[in-house]
Structure 1
Amino acid sequence: MKFDELRSIGHNIADSLASGIGFLIGIYQTDVFGEARRNPEHCIVVDFLTGEIVEGRASRSLADAIALYGKALPDLCAKHRGSPNMFRELTARYSVDTHGPRFVVTVEDYKGHRAVDEYVGVLGRRIRILDHLGRVRRKRDPVVSRRGVP
């Protein structure tokens, strides 16, 4: 499986939790951004490989939903002809700041290739910036290889 497909799986599962509806786990209403806002650090970090919260505190309902996402990951991977074993890391950091909700998805494969992608809003859109000519472009997140060189 190509690395970009792993990134796509990472985005899909993280975006499903961010949406607040949770179709991936069977219509399960959550508010990960609301709960992140109530944390002192204003964030919650989720490890989808284990189905656990690794940073921040959450309600029992959100913790249960995240556990269901961990259990749903093998089926999502199978739809892409993959396996959770292809991931070394699959985490998402949900936060709220003055610009609104955002989440950062970190994907690392078993070969050590790693990418960190940032999305804004509940719909999980890429950040847009102005280039040197004043055109609106999608912000390019660096893909980091095994050696740490973009």
Structure 2
Amino acid sequence: MKHAVLTSVGHNISDSLACGMGFLIGIYGTDVFGEAALTPDGFIQVDFLTGSTMGEVSPSLAKAISLYAEALPQLCESQGVTVADFDRLTTKYVAKADHYFIVEVTDRRGKTSRDRYVGLASERPKGVDSLGRVRRMKSA
């Protein structure tokens, strides 16, 4: 099990929910950022291993999240890993001026990564390094 594969799975499932179309679970429209904007803190945190959320969500979004949790084993299998390789797979969807989400993956060996993705294309933020080159910025 490579940690990079687990982070890729985490990004894929998180992006599928963020895009609002839900192709991973069949065409199932959601607006996770719209619902996050309605929360007092401006975010919703999703645990894809359990299909639960921190923060109140609509019944429709709750159903979609449970469907994502059910689809996770098949997504893992297609990437050559299993759900058991994860110790934690959560995503925090933040509804600020620039909607973004942070995927946190902890593997069964305890290695943790946090990656921030912004925009509709859910890309890692870019910046200029000390040599003037455009590079992906380090994540949270």
Shift of 1:80: 1.1
Which ranges of structure 1 fall in alignment gaps of 5 or more residues?
143-150
Q: Is the 8 A contact 1:101 1:121 kept in 2?
A: yes
The answer to whether 1:14 aligns with 2:14 is: yes
**Does the aligned pair in 2 maintain the 1:18–1:123 contact within 8 Å?**
no
The alignment of Structure 1 onto Structure 2 pairs a total of residues equal to: 140
Q: Give the C-alpha shift of residue 85 in structure 1.
A: 0.5
Deviations 1:93-135 (A, max 9, x none): 000213x110000000000011000000132111111222443
Q: Percent identity?
A: 50
The CA RMSD over aligned residues, in Å, is 1.1
Structure-2-length-normalised TM-score: 0.96
Residue identity opposite 1:17 in structure 2: L
Residue in structure 1 matched with residue 65 of structure 2 by the alignment: 66
d(CA) in 2 for partners of 1:121 and 1:66? 21
For structure 2, the 5+ residue unaligned runs are: none
Superposition pairs of residues 10-49 of structure 1, within 5 angstroms: 10-49=10-49
Counterpart amino acid of residue 68 in structure 1: L
2:80 corresponds in structure 1 to 81
Given the two structures, how large is their TM-score scaled by the length of structure 1?
0.89
Give 3-state SS (helix, strand or coil) of 2:56's partner: coil
